[in-house]
Amino acid sequence: MEAAPLASLSLTHVHYNPDDPISYLCAWLALVPQALCVIYVTLIWSTREIEILLMFAGQMGCEALNFLLKRLIKEERPKRNVQSTPLDYTFERLSIHELFLVAH
């Protein structure tokens, strides 16, 4: 089976298969972290509660740790039928988020 050409969702530069509606939905779901940041800042600004500030700080700390671990571990992405650059590293984001939410 030949791989379909991928399209890019310009807002996030997420590659998705334009022929697959689930792929398109998943590309838009990649915006959830940005939406969470907007929600956190709005809640901090409007309620000024320390709990929300701490949750946002924890989320940003998790993102910073994820960024550092990606640079330290440098695990290559799984090989697929798409072109990838040799310095394209990945680390399972969902696993890291779940780990810190459970540890919290």
Residue ranges, the chain, pLDDT below 50: 84, 87
- Dig out the tokens for 81 from the structure: 């039928």
- Dig out the tokens for 65 from the structure: 């740790």
The predicted pLDDT at position 5 comes to 77
The predicted pLDDT at position 12 comes to 65
The predicted pLDDT at position 37 comes to 87
The predicted pLDDT at position 80 comes to 60
Are the beta carbons of 9 and 27 closer than 8 angstroms?
A: yes
SS3 at position 92: coil
Are the beta carbons of 94 and 26 closer than 8 angstroms?
A: no
Centroid of chain to Cα 26: 11
